[in-house]
Amino acid sequence: MTKAAALELIKLTKSYGGTIAVDAINQTIPDGTYTCLLGPSGCGKSSTLRMIAGHESVSSGDIIHNGANITDLAPARRGTAMMFQSYALFPHLSVVDNVAFSLKMKGVDKAARQKQARELLDLVDMATYGDRLPDQLSGGQQQRVALARALITKPSILLLDEPLSALDPFLRIRMRTELNRLQRELGISFIHVTHSQDEALALADHIIVMNRGKIEQDGPPQEVFDAPKTEFVARFIGGHNILGADKRKLAVRTDRMLLASETSPGAMPAKVLAVEYLGTIVNVTVQTIEAGELTVSVGDTAYFRNPVEIGQSVFLTWKPEDAHQLAA
C-alpha cells in the first residue's frame, strides 16, 4: 500500500542574491520513511532542509505538510524538529534540563517535563546520564541528548543535518543502527542530510540525490545504486564504471565486470595499473583505450585464486543486462 504524502515540495527555490542554491525542485516524501538528501557540498541539500525546518526563508515555491501550507509558518508551528550538526546543547544545563528545555518554554511544570525528558533519555540509552553536564559527555553521548531534545516536541518529521559527521568511524556505524531503530520505533519521517553515500545507502529507504540545486534522481537505495539515471549519480553514488561517449554512455557496476587473462568475443583489452586489497574485495584499476581508467571489484577468494600483477594485460567482460543507459 502506498504511504500518504507527509511532505510535498512544490517548485521550491532558494536564491542568495544572484546565486540559486535550490532550483524549483518538486518532491514528495511519503509519511513514515527514512529519507536521505544526498549530494556534494553546495548541491542545495542543507538549504532544502533548512527551508523545510523554517530556519531559511523560501524564495519561491511551497512546502505542504499533511495537506497544510507551512511555507511561511514559524519553525515551532510546523510539526517538525531539527537536530543540528553542532548539537547546540546548553553547557550550563544538565542533560535532563537540556532535553526538557522546550517544554519549559511552553510552561510545562518541572515534574511533568522532567518525566518526559527521562523517558526520551531512556529511549536513546542515556537514562543514567541525566544529571551530568554536556561537557561531561562524549561526542556520541551528546548526539543522543540532542536527538532526545529534538524528539520531545513529538514532531511528525525529524530533520537531521549531517548528524554523524563529527563522530569517529566506529561510532558512526553504531549510530546509524540507532537512528534506524528509532525511526522504526517512532514511526515518524526522518529527513537526513548527508554527503556520505555509504551513510545514505545504510540508513534510507528513500534517497534523493541532489546536484547544483536540482534533483538528479530519487528512489529506493537499491534502485538508485543499481540503476543510476545520470552520469553524475553513477559517479557520485560510486561503484560504477562509465563507458561510451556523449549520448550513448553506459554505467556498469564495478562488481559486475569480469577480469580475465585471456580474450573472448567482445572483451575489452586493458592493462593493470593498481591493485587495492580491501578485505572482502580487491579493487583492480585498469587502463583501457576505449574507456580510460576503469575499476573491477573482485571478491577476495576469487581474486587470490587468479591474482594479477601491475602491468599485466587483461580483458574485461560484462553481461549486457548489467549495462545501464545514462541520460544525456
Q: Where is 171: in which H helix or E strand?
A: helix 169-186
pLDDT score, position 328: 74
C-alpha distances in angstroms, 278 versus 208, 299, 304? Answer: 28, 10, 13
Assigned C-alpha cell, 31? 509519511
The one-letter amino acid code at 76 reads A
- Domain match, 25 and 115 both: yes
3-class state of residue 32 by DSSP: coil
Q: What is the side-by-side order of every strand in the sheet holding 281-288? A: 258-260, 313-317, 268-277, 281-288, 292-299
Between 173 and 3, the more confident residue is 173
- Domain match, 185 and 101 both: yes
Q: Report whether 146 contacts 89 (CB < 8 A).
A: yes
Q: pTM of the full predicted structure?
A: 0.89
Of the residues 178, 204, 226, the one at which a domain ends: 226
Confidence of residue 172 (pLDDT cuts 50, 70, 90): confident
- Domain match, 184 and 249 both: no
pLDDT score, position 5: 55
Helix 139-151 / helix 110-123 crossing angle, nearest 10 deg: 130
Confidence of residue 83 (pLDDT cuts 50, 70, 90): confident
Number of domains the chain contains: 2
- Domain match, 219 and 247 both: no
Assigned C-alpha cell, 273? 595499473
Render pLDDT for 102-135 as a digit per residue (tens, 0 to 9).
899 999 999 999 999 999 999 888 999 999 999 9
The answer to whether residue 233 is domain-embedded is no
Residue-range definition of the domain harbouring residue 15: 5-226
- Domain match, 200 and 150 both: yes
